[in-house]
Structure 1
Amino acid sequence: MGHNLETRSLVDELKSFDRKGGLFDLGHPLLNRMAECFVKAAGIGAVQAVSREAYFTLTQGGDSNSIPPEVSTARKKHRFSELRGETNQNTVEALVKSTGKESLQWGLGAGMYSGITYGLKEARGVHDWKNSAMAGAITGAALALTFDDSSHEDVVQGAITGAAISTAANLLTGIF
């Protein structure tokens, strides 16, 4: 395998990410970690958003009024309600806009969480459940602020949920 960029294939580049230490080299481990987490999670968020809309379109024929009553109003609120355009161009534009917003939210959450946990580890000298809880709470509150019409209760609930999930993930690391 040659080291010349012109002779290397895309597969060779992807395989070398683990050896090189990541996708980015922004000059500081904190920036590298945040950028890499942002990009990876944004991609996952985009796939999730498009998959969810495809599922609802297939199961309900694109009719947003036919959502079963057992699906919560929170689920309805975050669906792509503006995708019911008059033309295919309006539908695609709305899908791209909504997918971009959701990708940004996923990327923001992952990058922020990763950066906070790294910063707390460097400041405190230890990586434990307390760092995870604090990073989860701050990230959860910040994500709640990105939703339309977020209230004080939404921010508090996001902080509690983020802290609980990240603490549980930290405590369960290595068990499974």
Structure 2
Amino acid sequence: MPSSRFSGSLSAPSVDVTIDTGNHFVNHTLDGFLKIGTVAATRAVAEDTFKAINRGKVSKHCLEHSIKKMCKEGAYWGTVAGVYVGMEYGVERIRGTRDWKNAMIGGALTGALVSAAGNNNKDRIVTDALTGGAIATASVFLNYLT
């Protein structure tokens, strides 16, 4: 009986940009900001491009709106990621160990800080802290599986 096999490997593209400020904490924070900010900006451009294609037209107003949205989304998500990465790194340095608890604490602190900056009430801040900690912890556990 004839058979066939496929053999190969699949790897994600890798782009590394290093900015050395001389401070590991700042380096980690900037790295998180740049990576996630770029992803968010790219997502915003892809979404607006899809909408423009569906409408069948591109105008100067649409292009300006897309650029503003790209910058806003990139800055927001980059800032949240930078805060998280900085928090997790700071917790790691304070605790002197590298484990999932750093992600949980960093995620909770980030969730609370971002929520408090948005002038949310106390209950919402606590909920966002719990959500941030849960998402960060789940992310670490999922990385262990792969």
- Whether TM-score is above 0.5 comes out as yes
Aligned CA distance change for structure 1 residues 46 and 130 (closer, same or farther; 3 Å): same
User: Distance between the aligned counterparts of 2:116 and 2:51, measured in 1?
Assistant: 26
User: Distance between the aligned counterparts of 1:131 and 1:36, measured in 2?
Assistant: 18
Superimposed CA distance per residue, residues 78-120 of structure 1 (whole angstroms, 9 cap, x where no aligned partner): xxxxxxxxx9333322221121111011111221111111111
User: Distance between the aligned counterparts of 1:145 and 1:53, measured in 2?
Assistant: 30
Aligned CA distance change for structure 1 residues 57 and 137 (closer, same or farther; 3 Å): farther
User: Distance between the aligned counterparts of 1:32 and 1:117, measured in 2?
Assistant: 13
Shift of 1:30: 1.1
User: Distance between the aligned counterparts of 1:48 and 1:109, measured in 2?
Assistant: 16
Aligned CA distance change for structure 1 residues 55 and 35 (closer, same or farther; 3 Å): same
Alignment correspondent of 2:93: 122
Q: How does 1:1-176 map to 2 (within 5 A)?
A: 23-59=18-54, 61=55, 88-144=59-115, 151-152=120-121, 154-176=124-146
User: Distance between the aligned counterparts of 2:74 and 2:86, measured in 1?
Assistant: 18
User: Distance between the aligned counterparts of 1:43 and 1:145, measured in 2?
Assistant: 25
Length, aligned pairs only: 131
Shift of 1:34: 1.1
User: Distance between the aligned counterparts of 1:142 and 1:96, measured in 2?
Assistant: 27
**TM-score, with length taken from structure 1:** 0.62
Aligned CA distance change for structure 1 residues 168 and 142 (closer, same or farther; 3 Å): same
What letter is aligned with 2:65?
A
| Runs (5+) with no aligned partner, structure 1 | 1-13, 63-86
Shift of 1:131: 1.5
User: Distance between the aligned counterparts of 1:106 and 1:34, measured in 2?
Assistant: 13
Shift of 1:160: 2.3
Of residues 39-48 and 151-160 in structure 1, the stretch that sits farther from structure 2 once superposed is 151-160
What letter is aligned with 1:175?
L
Q: Percent of counterpart pairs with the same letter?
A: 31
Shift of 1:141: 3.3
